[in-house]
A and B are shown apart, each in its own frame.
Chain A
Amino acid sequence: EAGVVQSPRYKIIEKKQPVAFWCNPISGHNTLYWYLQNLGQGPELLIRYENEEAVDDSQLPKDRFSAERLKGVDSTLKIQPAELGDSAVYLCASRGGRGSNTGELFFGEGSRLTVL
């Protein structure tokens, strides 16, 4: 079974430029998460999807961040324009398990963003 796939793994951009990250969750997983991880810290939730619906985006800085999950499968996270403080690792995770909303998450390898 293929795991959660993220791309790109690394991205270096100059500030004020746009950037996009892509995530393909495990097949059949309805719940998809985007987390932000700063160096030496734990992941912090940005947005959670149940199928194609964003059910928790309270932590997403909506002035510059946007996300979508068309057709309830893969997802894209965009930053426009990027700021120096956005340098971090962006992690995607998915969860399956019908009837259970408290199971384990499966993570991708992450997309490391460096803003110069």
Chain B
Amino acid sequence: SQQGEEDPQALSIQEGENATMNCSYKTSINNLQWYRQNSGRGLVHLILIRSNEREKHSGRLRVTLDTSKKSSSLLITASRAADTASYFCAAYTGTASKLTFGTGTRLQVTL
């Protein structure tokens, strides 16, 4: 079962524009993570935000977390063609070390 639902399912932008993708989840979380997956490759961890944090930055990435709405967003600023990939949110829930992934957003950045 998927923990998160991501929106939009697909996003196409031009290089230099900002890309925003959203994740909604169902239950209370310990932390929320974002991963990136290039076509035909494994997932790579991007950033982690704890349940008591509201915003976090890493380079061109900005993540926000709203636990009252059970939602998170990932903003990629000044996108590049190399950012083309699928992006997944994932969350640990409860006491188990089980990381559950969302359905993903496919980002296409064109020149």
A44 lies within 8 A of B104 (CB): no
- The main secondary structure of chain B at its interface with chain A is strand
A56 to B1, CA, bound (A): 14
Cβ-defined contact, B42 with A41, below 8 A: no
B81 at the interface (CB under 8 A from A): no
Q: Is B44 an interface residue (CB 8 A)?
A: yes
Quote the shortest CB–CB distance from A56 to chain B (angstroms): 6
A-B contact count (CB 8 A): 62
Which B residues touch A48, using CB under 8 A? 97-98
- In whole angstroms, what is the CA distance A35 to B106 when docked? 19
Interface size class of A (residues with CB under 8 A): 20 to 34
Contacts A31-B97, A41-B104; A104 near B1 (Cβ below 8 A): no
Contacting pair A102 B30 (CB below 8 A)? yes
Tell me whether B42 and A42 are in contact (CB under 8 A).
no
- Whether B103 pairs with A42 at a CB distance below 8 angstroms is yes
Contacting residue for A102 out of B40, B92, B100, B103, CB 8 A: B92
Known: A44-B1, A91-B42. A102 touches B97 (CB 8 A): yes
Q: How far is the CA of A43 from the CA of B97 in the complex (A)?
A: 15
| Chain B residues, CB < 8 A from A116 | none
Instruction: Give the complex CA separation of A93 and B90 in angstroms.
Output: 14
* CB atoms of B98 and A45 under 8 A apart: yes
Q: With A and B bound together, what is the CA distance between A23 and B63 in angstroms?
A: 31
Residue of A nearest to B104 (CB): A42
Kindly list 20 other residue pairs between chains A and B, CB separation below 8 angstroms, not including A45-B100, A107-B44. Answer: A33-B99, A40-B106, A41-B2, A42-B88, A42-B102, A42-B104, A43-B88, A44-B2, A48-B97, A48-B98, A93-B43, A95-B97, A101-B97, A102-B30, A103-B48, A104-B48, A107-B35, A107-B42, A110-B42, A112-B40
What is the interface of chain A, defined by CB distance below 8 A to chain B?
A: 4, 31, 33, 35, 40-45, 48, 50, 55-56, 91, 93, 95, 101-110, 112
B residues near A, CB below 8 A? 1-2, 4, 30-31, 33, 35, 40-45, 48, 88, 90, 92, 96-104, 106
